[in-house]
A = this chain, B = another copy of it.
Amino acid sequence: MSARTTLADVAAAAGVSRSTASRVLAGTDRNVDERLAKRVLAVSEQLGYRTNPVARALRRRSTDTFGILVPSLRNPYFVQLVDAFTRVAGDAGLGVVLADSGDDPDTEAARLDAFHESFVDGIVVVPTSQSRSGTAIRKAGERTRIIQLDRWSDDAGCGFVGIDNHAGVQFVVEHLRSSGRERIAYVGAEQESSAGAERLAAFRALSRPGDTVIMLPRFALSAGHDAARRMLGSGPLPDAAMCAADVLAVGMLSTLQREGVDIPADIAITGFDGTDLLELVNPSITTLHHRLDALAQQVVGYLVGEPTVGEVRIQPELVVRGSTAPGLLEKSSRQLRAMRVEAR
């Protein structure tokens, strides 16, 4: 915490002007005499000089830092999204500031606004609500660069990068049908997200007689249990449960097993977002893998490039595990080890 070395100190010690020192240290201008450059570098090293990022940002009028706002960090999927974005942005030399909206459009609007009090050049937002997030996002977009990730909202007036939900649903349905499942229950939640709406619509478009739809009042942690109970309490069990979210799948699996239902013999279960959660249970759960790095790459490209209002969709990939394919139990547990995820 000693008094920090400044550019002026380095310049003085190296016997050059601040201009020259800056040119060398910021690497902005190649045309510096090699001997001088070397001297500046050496002195800088010796004095332990570090550019003051605040001063640089003020002068350059850019912080190279971006904010990301997700509905909630309690949802592991959003954590993985944040993680991927942070990594990709970091590789591009960009800083990231994180915030969450507590799943509430009003808080979301406040956070969006708060980013202006902070050091960000732009914002990536996963909207909480398809119908209620648009206004705040549009407003933020008037002041700063902004892009929607994973979910979009009405009248947001900015770009969107997300996954191809229709394709995802199709992959899952095809997989289930081709393994002989004939009565698929789609398990979703009446929720305000564009992703949820797209998935349900896709399922409806592909469904056949015998299929059903179970909508939970909300995506609570207990929703999986509730869905399982509802299923057990009403007529013959479907032979597949296609969950629109991983948490639903996990809760459902544990409740069904508890009641003596055999998975996957009696009923197959699938998740959707490739969350680590799905490997915590036994059998582990078939899901879609989303190429989060590709998503993040698109977002970063957008943030540092030309602004667009276009839409980018990344195709998910099906990951078959024990919850739909008994033969894969062994393989699945081997994969599991490979895809090691630590805990504390």
Quick one: which of A65-83 are within 8 Å of B by CB?
65, 71-80, 82-83
Query: Whole-angstrom distance between the alpha carbons of A191 and B342 in the complex?
Result: 10
Which stretch (A12-20, A24-32, A254-262, A292-300) binds chain B? A254-262
Query: Whole-angstrom distance between the alpha carbons of A116 and B196 in the complex?
Result: 41
Residues of chain B with a CB closer than 8 A to A143's CB: 1, 4
Residues of chain B with a CB closer than 8 A to A99's CB: 86
Q: Which of B1, B57, B277, B339 has a CB less than 8 Å from the CB of A142?
A: B1
Indicate if A280 sits at the interface (CB-CB under 8 A). Answer: yes
Q: Which of B55, B83, B193 has a CB less than 8 Å from the CB of A58?
A: B55
Indicate if A315 sits at the interface (CB-CB under 8 A). Answer: no
Which stretch (A37-45, A172-180, A203-211, A216-224) binds chain B? A216-224
Indicate if A251 sits at the interface (CB-CB under 8 A). Answer: yes
Q: Which of B83, B103, B273 has a CB less than 8 Å from the CB of A342?
A: B103
User: Do residues A144 and B1 form an inter-chain contact, with CB atoms below 8 A?
Assistant: yes
Residues of chain B with a CB closer than 8 A to A281's CB: 250, 254, 281
User: Do residues A276 and B343 form an inter-chain contact, with CB atoms below 8 A?
Assistant: no
Copies of this chain per assembly: 2
Q: Which of B71, B80, B90, B340 has a CB less than 8 Å from the CB of A221?
A: B340
User: Do residues A343 and B219 form an inter-chain contact, with CB atoms below 8 A?
Assistant: yes
Indicate if A95 sits at the interface (CB-CB under 8 A). Answer: yes
Which stretch (A130-138, A230-238, A240-248) binds chain B? A240-248
Query: Whole-angstrom distance between the alpha carbons of A282 and B310 in the complex?
Result: 44
Q: Which of B73, B76, B257 has a CB less than 8 Å from the CB of A83?
A: B73
Indicate if A171 sits at the interface (CB-CB under 8 A). Answer: no
Quick one: which of A254-304 are within 8 Å of B by CB?
254-255, 257-258, 273, 276-277, 279-282
Given contacts A95-B118, A191-B344, 17 further A-B contacts (CB under 8 A): A1-B144, A51-B117, A53-B117, A74-B341, A75-B342, A78-B344, A79-B79, A86-B99, A86-B100, A97-B98, A103-B342, A195-B344, A196-B344, A220-B337, A224-B280, A225-B282, A254-B281
Top 9 A-B residue pairs of the complex, sorted by shortest distance between their CB atoms: A247-B343, A219-B343, A221-B341, A220-B340, A254-B282, A245-B343, A254-B281, A98-B98, A219-B342
